[in-house]
Structure 1
């Protein structure tokens, strides 16, 4: 069987699976059939192994069968490392552009709920595949896509043209939107956001939708939020539809400087306590599927978690975003209690423990039980089950707009 023949067969199988699962809405099937992801992937790419947790290099010119197998699989594919500074065939340090899993693309387009003639602004062109699907469905004249990386944008423009689609491809900062084409009926972001820009709200018609992967600096987990712009155009509000993980907007990436927290090394005068929380309780091994891991950034506010598993033990570190407080524990599988080290005015592990207790008492809610409201001054996350107040105020700092983020009862 030739690669193109298998390409068609494998795509049909994936599309049927997505349709049967409900990820792919029936009205999107013609576009997914007409616009293959393989047309937007480079000769050398790095599929991500969902089982192994690592990326591998695959070249179409060296092994077309394997290349098409991954191009059609429901896996993410890295197409750029280290903002384009990477060279060679081995994976780089930081993945900075990719083609998302077809199931994630399908679910977000389903959430976008487009209608014929709708004008859509896409934030994060990437390979151009998502813009191609939108262009096929709505007409290229109704699609504007913004990409911060000029090299990535030009490659996407060429691939779009090769399949006969010509949406407007803008090179610029997608966090600013694209006011020249406003107002839009829909905005969809294909990049992880930590501070949702109010400019997007301003550029969408009242009653229009914004679909974006949003999260806190607690972890890399994002939750897709589906916001409806209010009739007065001054705010947008809506619920989360599920957990995902996207590459973060370049200006909103965050890295911990551990030396600033522990200038004299570990344990640095920390106090010790004991915890009965386990890695399984916190979902540290499966953050996208574990409901607490997916929502813990909403509940344990103003901190970042870094975790690393080695054999039966997970090292978990919490770093405050508001001061130099930190906490650390080694959580060993099968061990009922673990020692916790904490330093600084905040007792971060205690905050995390109270957040987990609240979550258990609230019925272990998943992301769909929470939502977000964005105004010019504030981004507020909320829990929609009445009678359940969230345990901690969430205060994020250093976002692109500087707006405070707070947690409240919905």
Structure 2
């Protein structure tokens, strides 16, 4: 038994024990598809240095690289949109832009996709190609189409898939537009997060077909959503509570904040919903439904901590300060951001603070709605 085969078998057993692998076809895929083949350019591991998050490359000729490939963890494969592990030495302090998702989440999503033999699948976000390889093993490469926005990442995935014996249809392009030439699909799965599910995905999925994607927001809370497409061209479904996080699709990333507003202006009042309430994952999800274009940052000014929400698009802002036992909010711009959030949180709490797994998602040609059952 080769070293990597032993590692594949051990990974499959670990994922089964943890409850991620639930059916034999997907277990066979994990036992057969070599994850390390999709990481031959290396990966970045997080450093423990103080200050901003740092990343250092781990290359295939280093001890521990192979074992690292088979840990149930996400492995960053690209930094700042262009930088791969082979491009640097030492440490880099930039944001990750591509990764190999932790296998436990990958197989959990594939299980939740509920594929059947003969299903045609569109995958949004090829990444390293590992999840694409699992789909090919389960369904056959002729039934798998995968899209990746970054041509370089797509080409590396193509090479890794070919080396592993798979040749699905790979498209370099904007996954939010889908691939209409191959529609309709029986299943659509996204391995990037979206702030709004594109209606193009609904159009390209047959009635009765399933869409599985992560709904996210610029405040940083996100959950898996599974929707079924109806005969009327509308997709409906619910969220899975589980705090799933993916990188947001590049075209839906928040814009640069630019010049911050003058927060000394505006009207100030007390608020019963404070910035600390947003530390709760569910409350934050509710808040970003109410203010979908708001970004949050924490500043220290004149010896006090300020929590600033900014909507770059329309210039609205709200700043929250904790004074003793009381939170105050000061707002400016055309929209009272915190009023919207406070109102939504109170309505959610009045309904009994239902869990995110009770939230309903609907996508129509007019757009997306997300809500909770009213108490």
Structure-1-length-normalised TM-score: 0.80
1:378 equivalenced with 2:353 (yes/no)? no
1:301 equivalenced with 2:291 (yes/no)? yes
8 Å Cα contact 1:276/1:336 also seen in 2: no
Q: Distance in 1 between matches of 2:168 and 2:161?
A: 8
Query: Which residue does 1:59 correspond to in 2?
Result: 58
1:35 equivalenced with 2:33 (yes/no)? yes
Please list the CA deviations of residues 354-404 of structure 1 after superposition, one character each: whole Å capped at 9, or x if unmatched. 333333332222221112111122222222x2x44xxxxxxxxxxxxxxxx
Q: Distance in 2 between matches of 1:323 and 1:314?
A: 25
Q: CA deviation at 1:297?
A: 1.8
Query: Which residue does 1:407 correspond to in 2?
Result: none
Q: Distance in 1 between matches of 2:145 and 2:57?
A: 31
Q: Distance in 1 between matches of 2:244 and 2:94?
A: 21
Q: Distance in 1 between matches of 2:7 and 2:282?
A: 32
- Shift of the 11–63 alpha-carbon distance from structure 1 to 2, 3 Å rule, reads same
Query: Which residue does 1:70 correspond to in 2?
Result: 68
Q: Distance in 2 between matches of 1:366 and 1:251?
A: 29
1:24 equivalenced with 2:7 (yes/no)? no
1:325 equivalenced with 2:324 (yes/no)? no
8 Å Cα contact 2:286/2:345 also seen in 1: no
Query: Which residue does 2:133 correspond to in 1?
Result: 132
Q: Which moved more, 1:219-228 or 1:318-327?
A: 318-327
Query: Which residue does 1:316 correspond to in 2?
Result: 307
Q: Distance in 1 between matches of 2:307 and 2:337?
A: 12
Structure 2 portions without partners, runs of 5+: none
What's the secondary structure of 1:84's corresponding residue?
coil
- Shift of the 56–13 alpha-carbon distance from structure 1 to 2, 3 Å rule, reads farther
- Shift of the 151–144 alpha-carbon distance from structure 1 to 2, 3 Å rule, reads same
8 Å Cα contact 1:82/1:92 also seen in 2: no
Q: Distance in 1 between matches of 2:17 and 2:322?
A: 39
Query: Which residue does 1:213 correspond to in 2?
Result: 214
Q: CA deviation at 1:291?
A: 2.3
Query: Which residue does 2:163 correspond to in 1?
Result: 162
Query: Which residue does 1:272 correspond to in 2?
Result: 268
Q: CA deviation at 1:85?
A: 5.4
- Shift of the 13–353 alpha-carbon distance from structure 1 to 2, 3 Å rule, reads farther
8 Å Cα contact 1:316/1:331 also seen in 2: no
1:236 equivalenced with 2:235 (yes/no)? yes
Q: Distance in 2 between matches of 1:239 and 1:216?
A: 16
Q: CA deviation at 1:187?
A: 0.8
Structure-2-length-normalised TM-score: 0.86
Q: Distance in 2 between matches of 1:91 and 1:36?
A: 28
Query: Which residue does 1:399 correspond to in 2?
Result: none
Please list the CA deviations of residues 207-250 of structure 1 after superposition, one character each: whole Å capped at 9, or x if unmatched. 01111112344x23332211111024x11111112332222222
Give the aligned CA root-mean-square deviation in angstroms: 2.9
What's the secondary structure of 1:31's corresponding residue?
helix
8 Å Cα contact 2:124/2:175 also seen in 1: yes
Q: Distance in 1 between matches of 2:348 and 2:325?
A: 20
What's the secondary structure of 1:206's corresponding residue?
strand
1:245 equivalenced with 2:245 (yes/no)? yes
Q: Distance in 1 between matches of 2:135 and 2:94?
A: 31
Q: CA deviation at 1:127?
A: 0.3
Question: Which of residues 44, 47, 50 is equivalent to 2:45?
Answer: 47
Q: Distance in 1 between matches of 2:116 and 2:47?
A: 35
What's the secondary structure of 2:194's corresponding residue?
coil
